[in-house]
Amino acid sequence: AKTKSWILMATGRSPTNIAVIKYWGKRDEALILPVNDSISVTLDPDHLSATTTVAVSPTFDCDRMWLNGKEISLSGDRFQNCLREIRKLAGDVEDEKKGIRIRKEDWQNLHVHIASYNNFPTAAGLASSAAGFACLVFTLAKLMNVNEDHGKLSSIARQGSGSACRSLYGGFVKWTMGNDASGSDSIAVQLAPESHWSDLVIIIAVVSSKQKETSSTTGMRDTVETSPLLQHRAQCVVPARVLLMEEAIRNHDFASFARMTCVDNNQFRAVCLDTTWTWQLIFLNTTRQIAEACFLMKWIIFEVAYTFDAGLNAALISPNRKVAGLASKAAICFPPSPENDLASYVTGDKSII
Ligand code: 2P0
Protein backbone atom coordinates (compact mmCIF):
# COMPACT_ATOMS: atom_id res chain seq x y z
CA ALA A 1 0.00 0.00 0.00
CA LYS A 2 1.21 3.50 -0.78
CA THR A 3 2.20 5.46 2.33
CA LYS A 4 -0.06 8.42 2.95
CA SER A 5 1.98 11.49 2.11
CA TRP A 6 2.64 14.18 4.66
CA ILE A 7 5.39 16.63 5.54
CA LEU A 8 6.36 18.10 8.90
CA MET A 9 8.74 21.04 9.25
CA ALA A 10 10.60 23.05 11.88
CA THR A 11 12.65 26.23 11.56
CA GLY A 12 15.34 27.65 13.81
CA ARG A 13 17.87 30.46 13.83
CA SER A 14 21.31 30.57 15.47
CA PRO A 15 23.85 33.38 15.53
CA THR A 16 27.57 32.99 15.24
CA ASN A 17 29.88 33.73 18.16
CA ILE A 18 33.21 35.47 18.67
CA ALA A 19 35.76 33.85 20.97
CA VAL A 20 37.45 36.09 23.51
CA ILE A 21 39.40 33.14 24.93
CA LYS A 22 40.26 31.09 21.87
CA TYR A 23 39.70 27.46 21.01
CA TRP A 24 42.66 26.28 18.95
CA GLY A 25 43.73 22.64 19.02
CA LYS A 26 41.97 19.33 19.55
CA ARG A 27 42.93 16.45 21.81
CA ASP A 28 40.48 14.19 19.92
CA GLU A 29 39.86 14.93 16.25
CA ALA A 30 36.91 12.59 15.71
CA LEU A 31 34.90 13.74 18.72
CA ILE A 32 36.17 17.34 18.45
CA LEU A 33 37.47 17.64 22.00
CA PRO A 34 39.58 20.75 22.61
CA VAL A 35 42.90 21.14 24.44
CA ASN A 36 41.54 24.05 26.50
CA ASP A 37 38.36 25.80 27.63
CA SER A 38 37.19 28.77 25.55
CA ILE A 39 34.87 31.72 26.15
CA SER A 40 32.83 33.60 23.56
CA VAL A 41 30.20 36.25 23.04
CA THR A 42 27.23 35.27 20.90
CA LEU A 43 26.22 37.87 18.35
CA ASP A 44 22.81 39.34 17.73
CA PRO A 45 20.96 36.93 15.41
CA ASP A 46 19.74 39.81 13.24
CA HIS A 47 23.21 40.14 11.82
CA LEU A 48 25.36 37.06 11.56
CA SER A 49 23.17 34.01 11.81
CA ALA A 50 22.03 30.85 10.08
CA THR A 51 18.36 30.05 9.54
CA THR A 52 17.56 26.41 8.95
CA THR A 53 14.38 24.61 8.04
CA VAL A 54 14.21 20.85 8.38
CA ALA A 55 11.45 18.76 6.90
CA VAL A 56 10.55 15.12 7.33
CA SER A 57 8.28 13.09 5.11
CA PRO A 58 7.82 9.37 4.43
CA THR A 59 8.31 10.21 0.73
CA PHE A 60 11.95 11.29 1.29
CA ASP A 61 14.28 8.44 0.44
CA CYS A 62 17.53 9.92 1.75
CA ASP A 63 18.82 12.79 3.90
CA ARG A 64 19.63 15.87 1.79
CA MET A 65 20.79 19.39 2.50
CA TRP A 66 20.90 22.71 0.66
CA LEU A 67 23.12 25.57 1.85
CA ASN A 68 22.17 28.98 0.50
CA GLY A 69 20.10 27.24 -2.16
CA LYS A 70 22.82 24.90 -3.38
CA GLU A 71 22.80 21.19 -2.56
CA ILE A 72 25.74 20.02 -0.46
CA SER A 73 26.85 16.54 0.52
CA LEU A 74 25.90 15.15 3.91
CA SER A 75 28.30 12.23 3.60
CA GLY A 76 31.03 13.71 5.84
CA ASP A 77 31.53 12.34 9.35
CA ARG A 78 30.57 15.63 10.98
CA PHE A 79 27.08 15.71 9.47
CA GLN A 80 26.63 12.00 9.97
CA ASN A 81 27.63 12.20 13.64
CA CYS A 82 25.18 15.04 14.31
CA LEU A 83 22.32 13.29 12.51
CA ARG A 84 23.00 9.99 14.28
CA GLU A 85 23.25 11.54 17.75
CA ILE A 86 20.07 13.58 17.34
CA ARG A 87 18.13 10.58 15.99
CA LYS A 88 19.15 8.62 19.10
CA LEU A 89 17.44 11.24 21.28
CA ALA A 90 14.34 11.73 19.13
CA GLY A 91 10.96 11.53 20.84
CA ASP A 92 7.38 10.81 19.82
CA VAL A 93 5.72 13.46 17.66
CA GLU A 94 2.02 13.90 17.11
CA ASP A 95 0.23 16.39 14.90
CA GLU A 96 -3.46 15.71 15.28
CA LYS A 97 -4.56 18.23 12.65
CA LYS A 98 -2.44 16.57 10.00
CA GLY A 99 -3.10 13.10 11.36
CA ILE A 100 0.62 12.45 11.84
CA ARG A 101 2.02 10.13 14.50
CA ILE A 102 5.74 9.45 14.61
CA ARG A 103 7.03 7.10 17.28
CA LYS A 104 10.57 7.65 18.46
CA GLU A 105 11.86 4.46 16.82
CA ASP A 106 10.39 5.64 13.47
CA TRP A 107 13.03 8.38 13.23
CA GLN A 108 15.68 5.76 12.42
CA ASN A 109 13.92 5.10 9.09
CA LEU A 110 12.62 8.57 8.26
CA HIS A 111 14.78 10.93 6.17
CA VAL A 112 15.13 14.67 6.47
CA HIS A 113 15.58 17.49 3.99
CA ILE A 114 17.48 20.48 5.35
CA ALA A 115 17.62 24.00 3.91
CA SER A 116 19.97 26.47 5.56
CA TYR A 117 20.69 30.12 4.80
CA ASN A 118 23.28 32.49 6.19
CA ASN A 119 22.22 36.12 6.45
CA PHE A 120 25.78 37.22 5.71
CA PRO A 121 28.04 36.53 2.76
CA THR A 122 29.48 33.04 3.17
CA ALA A 123 32.32 34.12 0.93
CA ALA A 124 33.45 36.57 3.58
CA GLY A 125 34.94 33.66 5.46
CA LEU A 126 33.17 34.49 8.70
CA ALA A 127 32.59 31.71 11.17
CA SER A 128 29.66 30.20 9.30
CA SER A 129 30.18 26.67 10.59
CA ALA A 130 29.50 27.78 14.18
CA ALA A 131 26.08 29.22 13.35
CA GLY A 132 25.36 26.49 10.81
CA PHE A 133 25.93 23.42 12.98
CA ALA A 134 24.34 25.02 16.06
CA CYS A 135 21.26 25.79 14.00
CA LEU A 136 21.17 22.36 12.36
CA VAL A 137 21.27 20.54 15.70
CA PHE A 138 18.83 22.93 17.38
CA THR A 139 16.30 22.68 14.55
CA LEU A 140 16.54 18.90 14.21
CA ALA A 141 16.00 18.64 17.97
CA LYS A 142 12.89 20.81 17.62
CA LEU A 143 11.51 18.72 14.75
CA MET A 144 12.25 15.43 16.48
CA ASN A 145 10.92 16.55 19.85
CA VAL A 146 14.24 15.96 21.60
CA ASN A 147 13.71 16.52 25.27
CA GLU A 148 17.26 17.44 26.33
CA ASP A 149 18.84 20.59 27.70
CA HIS A 150 21.03 22.89 25.64
CA GLY A 151 24.14 21.38 27.25
CA LYS A 152 23.43 18.01 25.65
CA LEU A 153 22.57 19.67 22.33
CA SER A 154 25.82 21.66 22.53
CA SER A 155 27.80 18.42 22.80
CA ILE A 156 26.18 17.25 19.56
CA ALA A 157 26.75 20.57 17.77
CA ARG A 158 30.38 20.33 18.91
CA GLN A 159 30.73 17.19 16.79
CA GLY A 160 29.75 19.26 13.74
CA SER A 161 32.22 22.07 14.46
CA GLY A 162 33.89 22.86 17.76
CA SER A 163 32.91 26.50 17.97
CA ALA A 164 29.29 25.61 17.13
CA CYS A 165 28.66 24.30 20.65
CA ARG A 166 28.98 27.87 21.99
CA SER A 167 26.23 29.17 19.67
CA LEU A 168 23.52 27.17 21.44
CA TYR A 169 23.38 29.98 24.00
CA GLY A 170 23.15 33.76 23.76
CA GLY A 171 25.26 36.15 25.79
CA PHE A 172 28.55 35.00 27.32
CA VAL A 173 29.35 31.35 26.91
CA LYS A 174 32.05 28.98 28.09
CA TRP A 175 32.92 25.73 26.34
CA THR A 176 34.36 23.50 29.06
CA MET A 177 36.91 21.13 27.59
CA GLY A 178 35.81 18.28 29.90
CA ASN A 179 37.81 15.24 31.00
CA ASP A 180 35.74 12.35 29.77
CA ALA A 181 37.10 10.41 26.78
CA SER A 182 33.56 10.09 25.39
CA GLY A 183 33.17 13.87 25.26
CA SER A 184 30.00 13.82 27.39
CA ASP A 185 31.30 16.66 29.59
CA SER A 186 32.77 18.74 26.77
CA ILE A 187 29.79 21.07 26.58
CA ALA A 188 28.91 24.74 26.48
CA VAL A 189 27.47 26.58 29.47
CA GLN A 190 26.06 30.07 29.60
CA LEU A 191 28.08 32.34 31.89
CA ALA A 192 25.65 35.26 31.61
CA PRO A 193 22.79 36.22 29.31
CA GLU A 194 23.17 39.06 26.83
CA SER A 195 21.14 41.34 29.14
CA HIS A 196 23.86 41.05 31.79
CA TRP A 197 26.12 43.40 29.79
CA SER A 198 23.79 44.69 27.13
CA ASP A 199 25.69 47.90 26.42
CA LEU A 200 28.62 45.93 25.04
CA VAL A 201 28.79 46.37 21.28
CA ILE A 202 30.63 44.20 18.80
CA ILE A 203 31.68 45.37 15.35
CA ILE A 204 32.82 42.78 12.88
CA ALA A 205 35.12 44.41 10.37
CA VAL A 206 35.17 42.28 7.26
CA VAL A 207 38.65 43.06 6.06
CA SER A 208 38.73 40.58 3.25
CA SER A 209 36.13 38.48 1.51
CA LYS A 210 38.82 36.07 0.34
CA GLN A 211 38.55 32.56 1.67
CA LYS A 212 41.19 31.48 4.16
CA GLU A 213 44.08 29.62 2.56
CA THR A 214 43.96 26.95 5.25
CA SER A 215 40.85 25.75 7.07
CA SER A 216 40.72 26.08 10.84
CA THR A 217 40.50 22.32 11.11
CA THR A 218 43.74 21.79 9.20
CA GLY A 219 45.42 24.77 10.82
CA MET A 220 44.77 23.62 14.34
CA ARG A 221 45.80 20.06 13.51
CA ASP A 222 49.15 21.41 12.31
CA THR A 223 49.45 23.51 15.45
CA VAL A 224 48.86 20.46 17.66
CA GLU A 225 51.47 18.53 15.71
CA THR A 226 54.15 21.19 15.44
CA SER A 227 53.80 23.93 18.05
CA PRO A 228 55.61 23.48 21.37
CA LEU A 229 53.99 26.72 22.54
CA LEU A 230 50.48 25.26 22.35
CA GLN A 231 51.07 22.91 25.25
CA HIS A 232 52.27 25.75 27.43
CA ARG A 233 49.24 27.83 26.44
CA ALA A 234 46.71 25.06 27.09
CA GLN A 235 48.17 23.92 30.40
CA CYS A 236 49.73 26.98 31.99
CA VAL A 237 47.98 30.03 30.55
CA VAL A 238 44.36 29.42 29.60
CA PRO A 239 43.08 27.86 32.87
CA ALA A 240 43.93 30.95 34.92
CA ARG A 241 42.87 33.31 32.14
CA VAL A 242 39.45 31.69 31.89
CA LEU A 243 38.85 32.32 35.60
CA LEU A 244 39.89 35.97 35.24
CA MET A 245 37.69 36.40 32.19
CA GLU A 246 34.71 34.93 34.02
CA GLU A 247 35.33 37.36 36.86
CA ALA A 248 35.62 40.31 34.46
CA ILE A 249 32.31 39.38 32.84
CA ARG A 250 30.63 38.90 36.21
CA ASN A 251 31.83 42.34 37.40
CA HIS A 252 31.34 44.23 34.11
CA ASP A 253 35.05 45.00 34.30
CA PHE A 254 35.64 46.14 30.75
CA ALA A 255 39.31 47.06 31.22
CA SER A 256 40.16 43.48 32.27
CA PHE A 257 37.82 42.01 29.68
CA ALA A 258 39.48 44.03 26.90
CA ARG A 259 43.01 43.30 28.07
CA MET A 260 42.42 39.56 28.25
CA THR A 261 40.59 39.47 24.94
CA CYS A 262 43.55 41.18 23.25
CA VAL A 263 46.28 39.13 24.93
CA ASP A 264 44.48 35.89 24.26
CA ASN A 265 44.11 36.86 20.62
CA ASN A 266 47.84 37.60 20.56
CA GLN A 267 48.67 34.23 22.05
CA PHE A 268 46.37 32.47 19.60
CA ARG A 269 48.24 34.26 16.81
CA ALA A 270 51.53 33.32 18.49
CA VAL A 271 50.72 29.60 18.43
CA CYS A 272 49.77 30.03 14.76
CA LEU A 273 53.15 31.62 14.13
CA ASP A 274 54.72 28.73 16.04
CA THR A 275 53.10 26.33 13.58
CA THR A 276 54.64 25.03 10.39
CA TRP A 277 51.61 25.75 8.18
CA THR A 278 51.47 29.38 9.11
CA TRP A 279 54.18 30.37 6.71
CA GLN A 280 51.40 30.68 4.11
CA LEU A 281 49.50 33.13 6.22
CA ILE A 282 52.60 35.11 7.11
CA PHE A 283 53.97 35.48 3.61
CA LEU A 284 50.72 36.18 1.87
CA ASN A 285 49.23 38.53 4.40
CA THR A 286 51.97 39.80 6.67
CA THR A 287 52.06 43.42 5.71
CA ARG A 288 48.39 43.99 5.94
CA GLN A 289 47.88 41.97 9.05
CA ILE A 290 50.62 43.69 11.00
CA ALA A 291 49.42 47.10 9.94
CA GLU A 292 45.91 46.29 11.01
CA ALA A 293 47.04 44.81 14.30
CA CYS A 294 49.06 47.95 15.08
CA PHE A 295 46.14 50.20 14.38
CA LEU A 296 43.92 48.08 16.48
CA MET A 297 46.36 47.82 19.35
CA LYS A 298 46.49 51.56 19.75
CA TRP A 299 42.78 51.53 20.37
CA ILE A 300 43.16 49.64 23.59
CA ILE A 301 43.69 52.95 25.31
CA PHE A 302 40.19 53.87 24.16
CA GLU A 303 38.90 50.77 25.85
CA VAL A 304 38.30 48.83 22.71
CA ALA A 305 39.08 45.13 22.57
CA TYR A 306 40.16 43.58 19.32
CA THR A 307 40.22 39.96 18.35
CA PHE A 308 40.76 38.26 15.01
CA ASP A 309 39.09 35.13 13.83
CA ALA A 310 41.11 32.50 12.00
CA GLY A 311 41.10 34.69 8.90
CA LEU A 312 41.77 38.38 8.56
CA ASN A 313 38.51 39.71 9.88
CA ALA A 314 38.54 41.59 13.15
CA ALA A 315 35.98 41.80 15.90
CA LEU A 316 36.04 45.02 17.92
CA ILE A 317 34.29 45.07 21.26
CA SER A 318 33.40 48.21 23.15
CA PRO A 319 30.89 49.60 25.62
CA ASN A 320 28.02 51.18 23.75
CA ARG A 321 28.85 54.81 24.39
CA LYS A 322 32.09 54.41 22.49
CA VAL A 323 30.56 52.88 19.44
CA ALA A 324 30.36 55.99 17.28
CA GLY A 325 34.06 56.68 17.70
CA LEU A 326 34.87 53.05 17.23
CA ALA A 327 32.88 52.80 14.05
CA SER A 328 34.48 55.87 12.54
CA LYS A 329 37.93 54.51 13.31
CA ALA A 330 36.97 51.22 11.74
CA ALA A 331 35.91 53.08 8.63
CA ILE A 332 39.34 54.75 8.45
CA CYS A 333 41.16 51.51 9.01
CA PHE A 334 39.13 49.42 6.61
CA PRO A 335 38.27 51.68 3.67
CA PRO A 336 35.91 50.09 1.20
CA SER A 337 37.47 49.23 -2.12
CA PRO A 338 36.81 46.67 -4.83
CA GLU A 339 39.32 44.22 -3.33
CA ASN A 340 38.43 45.08 0.20
CA ASP A 341 34.71 44.71 0.80
CA LEU A 342 33.86 46.64 3.90
CA ALA A 343 30.93 45.49 5.86
CA SER A 344 30.68 46.41 9.49
CA TYR A 345 28.00 44.91 11.61
CA VAL A 346 26.97 46.34 14.93
CA THR A 347 25.25 44.10 17.35
CA GLY A 348 23.13 45.30 20.18
CA ASP A 349 21.26 48.10 18.47
CA LYS A 350 19.98 46.18 15.49
CA SER A 351 21.60 48.41 12.89
CA ILE A 352 24.18 47.72 10.26
CA ILE A 353 26.67 50.46 9.59
C1 2P0 B 1 37.33 30.04 18.24
N2 2P0 B 1 38.23 29.47 15.99
O3 2P0 B 1 37.47 29.80 19.47
C4 2P0 B 1 38.54 29.77 17.36
C5 2P0 B 1 39.44 30.98 17.31
C6 2P0 B 1 38.94 30.28 15.07
C7 2P0 B 1 39.83 31.14 15.87
O8 2P0 B 1 36.85 27.83 16.54
O9 2P0 B 1 37.61 22.01 13.34
O10 2P0 B 1 35.51 26.00 12.75
O11 2P0 B 1 35.23 22.73 13.08
O12 2P0 B 1 36.22 22.43 15.34
O13 2P0 B 1 35.28 25.56 15.24
C14 2P0 B 1 37.31 27.96 14.28
O15 2P0 B 1 37.38 26.57 14.29
O16 2P0 B 1 36.97 24.28 13.88
C17 2P0 B 1 37.45 28.41 15.67
P18 2P0 B 1 36.48 22.79 13.93
P19 2P0 B 1 36.15 25.61 14.05
O20 2P0 B 1 36.29 30.54 17.77
Q: Is the CB of 37 under 6 A from ligand 1?
A: no
Nearest atom in ligand 1 to 133's CA: 11
Q: Is the CB of 36 under 6 A from ligand 1?
A: no
Nearest atom in ligand 1 to 22's CA: 3
Position 351 in a domain? no
Q: Is the CB of 309 under 6 A from ligand 1?
A: yes
Select from 188, 177, 232, 205 the least CA-distant residue to 305.
Answer: 205
Three-class DSSP labels, the chain: CCCCCCCEEEEEEEECEEEEECCCCEEECCCCEECCCEEEEECCCCCCEEEEEEEEECCCCCCEEEECCEEECCCCHHHHHHHHHHHHHCCCEEECCCCEEECHHHHHCCEEEEEEEECCCHHHCCCHHHHHHHHHHHHHHHHCCCCCCHHHHHHHHCCCCHHHHHHHCCCEEEECCCCCCCCCCCCEEEEECHHHHCCEEEEEECCCCCCCCCCHHHHHHHHHHHCHHHHHHHHHHHHHHHHHHHHHHHCCCHHHHHHHHHHHHHHHHHHHHCCHHHHHHHHHHHHHHHHHHHHHHHHHHHCCEEEECCCCCEEEEEEHHHHHHHHHHHHHHCCCECCECCCEEECCCCCEC
Q: Domain of 58: which CATH number? A: 3.30.230.10
Residue type, 223: T
Position 243 in a domain? yes
Nearest atom in ligand 1 to 164's CA: 13
Position 3 in a domain? no
Q: Which domain holds residue 41?
A: 8-346
Query: How many angstroms separate the CA atoms of 25 and 131, rounded?
Result: 20
Which residue from 163, 215, 260 has its CB within 8 A of the most atoms of ligand 1, so it is best to mutate?
A: 163
In degrees, to the nearest 5, what angle opens at C-alpha 35 toward C-alphas 29 and 38? 110
Position 1 in a domain? no
CA of 19 to the centre of ligand 1 (A): 9
Q: Is the CB of 81 under 6 A from ligand 1?
A: no
pLDDT of residue 212: 59
Position 191 in a domain? yes
Q: By the 8 A CB rule, do 16 and 110 touch?
A: no
Which residue from 16, 23, 137 has its CB within 8 A of the most atoms of ligand 1, so it is best to mutate?
A: 23
Position 330 in a domain? yes
The answer to ipTM > 0.90 is: yes
- Taking phi over 0 as left and psi of -120 to 50 as alpha, with beta for the rest, 271 belongs to alpha
Position 180 in a domain? yes
Q: What is the pTM of this model?
A: 0.89
The count of structural domains within the chain is 1
CA of 304 to the centre of ligand 1 (A): 23
Q: Is the CB of 310 under 6 A from ligand 1?
A: yes
pLDDT of residue 288: 57
pLDDT of residue 209: 56
Q: Is the CB of 308 under 6 A from ligand 1?
A: no
Q: Is the CB of 311 under 6 A from ligand 1?
A: no
Q: What is the distance of C-alpha 78 from the center of its chain?
A: 15
Select from 261, 265, 255 the least CA-distant residue to 289.
Answer: 265
CA of 27 to the centre of ligand 1 (A): 14
Position 267 in a domain? yes
Per-residue pLDDT for the chain (353 aa), expressed as one digit of tens each? 445 789 999 999 999 999 999 999 999 999 999 999 999 999 988 878 999 999 999 999 999 999 999 999 999 999 999 999 999 999 999 999 889 999 999 999 999 999 999 887 655 556 678 999 999 999 999 999 999 999 999 999 999 999 999 999 999 999 999 999 999 999 999 999 999 998 888 877 666 555 556 788 988 999 999 999 999 999 999 999 999 999 999 999 998 998 899 899 889 988 988 988 665 554 445 445 555 655 665 655 556 787 887 766 678 788 866 665 565 565 555 544 434 333 333 333 323 32
Q: Is the CB of 38 under 6 A from ligand 1?
A: yes
